[in-house]
């Protein structure tokens, strides 16, 4: 696995994927490949019940390595190269609950990868934002979609258009993160919450995640039908 990413399988069913390119954990091609390898490995291990995405160093991630855009003929070519092999859909479609632990700067692609997890917990020192608009760019990893899914268009629109940063308290108020904890408590609380998620019945956890996503993706009548179908599958003990 690439040096930028570390994967550890815990005995409690929790797999932890850690960004290992401090102090800024810049998202570059090497980190991308490491994330793809790690997420693919987690997906293929049936004993995993929860995945934690975390980071070493002072900051979670300040986003993409913009210097890499200069190696392509145009910024459009650079984006296309990234989109041809990105870890984002792999992360989004993992079959188990996903939890991201944020601290320091979580900007651009750093924030966007966290938005593809089910839950986000933040240290009180976390600063979040999608600053791409200030560079004349759209968010590189689906931020217009994932942020809107998380907090709705009315709240997402001013954040995306302005590119401004927000602190952990405002992120919690908006619903971007589910908890804010003191910096010294982040690792312990993350481990505690991950263990709780890992103890869920796998089929029930899968059903709940599918139903909650259906609420965003489908009209209400289709969402209700999805809920009924999964309720029957859980009651019968079959995976569907």
Does the global pTM surpass 0.75?
yes
pLDDT at 217: 83
Burial of 166 (0-12, 13-18, 19+ CB in 10 A): middle
What's the pLDDT score for residue 67? 64
Tens of pLDDT along 137-167?
A: 777 677 888 999 999 999 999 999 998 999 9
Question: Whose structure tokens read 């976390």?
Answer: 126
Q: What share of the chain is helix, strand, coil (3-state, %, to 5)?
A: 50, 20, 30
- Is-contact 84 36, C-beta < 8 A? no
The CATH classification of domain 5-198, taken from the options 3.40.50.2300, 3.40.50.970, 3.40.50.1370, 3.90.226.10: 3.90.226.10
Mark the ranges of the chain whose per-residue pLDDT is less than 70. Answer: 1-2, 66-85, 140, 238-240
Task: Evaluate whether 62 touches 107 at the Cβ level (below 8 Å).
Answer: yes
Residue numbers annotated as active site: 112, 132
Q: Which two tokens stand for residue 126?
A: 């976390």
Omega of the bond leading into 196 within 30 degrees of 0 (cis)? no
């Amino acid at each position: 696995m690439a040096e930028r990413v570390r994967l550890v399988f815990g005995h409690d069913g929790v797999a932890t994927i850690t960004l290992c390119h401090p102090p800024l954990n810049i998202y570059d091609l090497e980190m991308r490949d490491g994330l793809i390898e790690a997420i693919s490995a987690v997906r293929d291990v049936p004993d995993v019940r929860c995945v934690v995405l975390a980071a070493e160093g002072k900051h979670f991630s300040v986003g993409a390595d913009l210097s890499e855009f200069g190696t392509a003929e145009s910024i459009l070519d650079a984006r296309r190269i990234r989109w041809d092999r990105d870890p984002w859909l792999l992360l989004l479609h993992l079959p188990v609950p996903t939890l991201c632990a944020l601290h320091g700067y979580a900007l651009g692609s750093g924030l966007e990868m966290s938005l593809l997890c089910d839950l986000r917990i933040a240290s009180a020192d976390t600063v979040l934002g999608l600053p791409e608009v200030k560079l004349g760019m759209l968010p590189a990893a689906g931020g217009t979609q994932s942020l809107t899914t998380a907090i709705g268009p009315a709240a997402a629109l001013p954040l995306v258009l302005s590119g401004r940063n927000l602190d952990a308290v405002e992120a919690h108020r908006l619903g971007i993160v589910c908890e804010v904890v003191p910096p010294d408590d982040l690792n312990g609380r993350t481990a505690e919450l991950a263990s709780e998620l890992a103890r869920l019945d796998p089929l029930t956890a899968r059903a709940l995640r599918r139903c909650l996503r259906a609420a965003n993706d489908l009209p209400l009548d289709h969402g209700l039908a999805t809920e009924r179908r999964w309720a029957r599958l859980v009651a019968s003990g079959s995976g569907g």
